[in-house]
Amino acid sequence: MPKRKKTEKAGFIDSARVYLKAGKGGDGSASFRREKFVPYGGPDGGHGGKGGSICFEAASGLNTLAELAAHPHITAGDGGPGKGKRMSGRGAEDIRALVPCGTLIKINGRLAADLKKTGDRFLAAKGGRGGRGNTAFKTKFNTAPKISEKGEPGDELCADLELSVLADIGLVGFPNAGKSTLLARISAARPKIAAYPFTTLNPNLGITCHKGESFAVADIPGLIEGAHKGKGLGVTFLKHILRTKLILHLVDPMGFGRSGPVDSVRVIRGELKNFHPEMAKKRRIIIVTKADLPPAKEVYGQLKKKYKKDVIFLISAVTGVGITPLLDKIIALLPGLKEPEIYKTDDGAGPKALHKPARRGFNITKLDDSNYRVAGVALDKILAMTNLSQPDSLHRLKRIFQLIGLDKALKKTGVTAGDTVTVSGKVFEWSDEDSRQPHKKSKFAYKYKAVQTARRRR
Ligand SMILES: Nc1nc2c(ncn2[C@@H]2O[C@H](COP(=O)(O)OP(=O)(O)OP(=O)(O)O)[C@@H](O)[C@H]2O)c(=O)[nH]1
Ligand SMILES: [Mg+2]
């Protein structure tokens, strides 16, 4: 399967709407063996090749949906047509669109997949199957069928992708609290660090290894009071720590703006709770940063007094003071914590649900006295795969209409000879003649064949 190209300019983009068009199956062939000294060579039309499907695959090393946001139209190739001498058509290649781990795929507003681990795949748009060649229609009653199917159309849909970064630990706090400095200290990540607020504009992810244990840490832009109302950078990035097991709340001993350091705990907790109730349930550790600066110890003492039940650490990401006890505590806590179930895909949606066989049944609408319209998902597929230029295929279609009860239903609605019936966009003229009549001699043969075909279709 070909990989999609990487974009040159890849900013951080955590949502994208993509338009998928899977390939159509190749048409089957209606051909006969013609060879010198081989009279009545029989049907030898091959089947069409399958159309290309489109699937999403979680890949390591990706952390943005920028590539897909920049190229939202993904089209897979069509299958090749079948040929004489029983030659099958070429199958089109499937497309694998790579997405970061933690990508949620929504189709028609429903969560269809949550790709968490590298290699997780979701078949979003299925390519059509190749149409059958006339070899498939040969029976002992009809040894020279002039019927072949057209290829099945591929799925066409629009999917919404949303990235919810997967990390074990989330770093939160006011801007300038030292979140990125701590991430840089405990992992190989190199986020931008500077002495002004809102240095971090996009989430950063780092992997920490401590005493043989490893865990992922996400650093997000700073929060301020009123973030849930859109102040500062808002709470849009909080979704990236929604799935974390543990929250490290960093407190700058100098405070931020008019908020004092002690008060910051209440403010940030309020913002987290306002964003999602699950945030309030998460296990938290309060960390007083910049221990090398004079007010840190005092703030640490005040917080210890006020939040007696909480675990509080005093660290300096610059000098390294308090980092080891903090990491020890984290690795002791993590095994006992569960990832919250925020996104649920077990509501019937999913790859299987998306590719259920087309619903049978149809709707008849009387447009006026002599015009009728018939619509149905299964009928759309049957019509798309019927080669209307072949008289035998047309006859087979009429038999299918009879078998699925369309004839009866139309008669009940009051259709008369000469009326126009539009079935899935194709226009037919109603005639009262029995479709079995032209083949009176082989009546049983046709009935048998049509029943078989209809069963296979179901
Ligand atoms: N002295 C001292 N300075 C620190 C310490 N940790 C961070 N700083 C400084 O604090 C400033 C802000 O640090 P950042 O890590 O960028 O803070 P942040 O929380 O990521 O800030 P935003 O990304 O803007 O939200 C930088 O100038 C750091 O050098 C520390 O332990 N001691
Ligand atoms: Mg930062």
DSSP line for 228-281: GGT-TTTTGGGGGGTT-SEEEEEE-TT-BTTB-HHHHHHHHHHHHHHH-HHHHH
Q: Which residue has the higher pLDDT, 348 or 94?
A: 94
pTM: 0.79
Which domains occur in the chain, in start order? 15-164 (2.70.210.12), 169-336 (3.40.50.300), 363-457 (3.30.300.350)
Rounded (5°) CA angle 173-168-160? 90
Residue 300: what residue type?
Answer: Y
pLDDT for residue 11: 61
Q: Report the residue among 171, 193, 240 best suited for mutation to probe ligand 1: largest number of ligand atoms under 8 A from its CB.
A: 193
Residue 1 Cα to ligand 1 midpoint, Å, equals 45
CB contact at 8 A, 128 and 24: yes
Q: Report the residue among 176, 224, 254 best suited for mutation to probe ligand 1: largest number of ligand atoms under 8 A from its CB.
A: 176
For 268-279, the three-class secondary structure string (H helix, E strand, C coil) is: HHHHHHHHCHHH
Q: Looking at ligand 1, which residue's alpha carbon is closest to its atom 1?
A: 290
Residue 329 Cα to ligand 2 midpoint, Å, equals 23
**For the ranges 137-151, 352-366, 437-451, the one whose mean pLDDT is highest:** 137-151
Q: Nearest ligand, CA of residue 292?
A: 1
- Give the Å distances, CA to CA, from 241 to 107, 161, 309: 23, 17, 23
Residue 383: what residue type?
Answer: L
Spell out which residues line ligand 1, taking CB within 6 angstroms.
173, 175-181, 193-195, 197-200, 221-222, 289-290, 292-293, 316-318
Give the atom of ligand 1 at the shortest distance from the alpha carbon of 173.
19
Q: Report the residue among 181, 217, 252, 297 best suited for mutation to probe ligand 1: largest number of ligand atoms under 8 A from its CB.
A: 181
What is the Cα–Cα distance from 68 to 284, expressed in whole angstroms?
35
**For the ranges 93-97, 292-296, 368-372, 431-435, the one whose mean pLDDT is highest:** 93-97
What is the Cα–Cα distance from 322 to 314, expressed in whole angstroms?
6
Please write the tens of the pLDDT for every residue from 9-65: 346 788 999 999 999 999 999 999 998 998 888 999 999 999 999 999 999 888 889
* Residue 305 burial (10 A CB sphere; 0-12, 13-18, 19+): exposed
- The bridge status of strand 15-21 relative to strand 156-163 is antiparallel
**Average pLDDT rounded to a whole number, residues 97-105:** 93
Give the atom of ligand 1 at the shortest distance from the alpha carbon of 197.
24
Please write the tens of the pLDDT for every residue from 288-334: 999 999 889 999 999 999 998 899 999 999 999 999 999 999 999 99
pLDDT at residue 109 tops 90? no
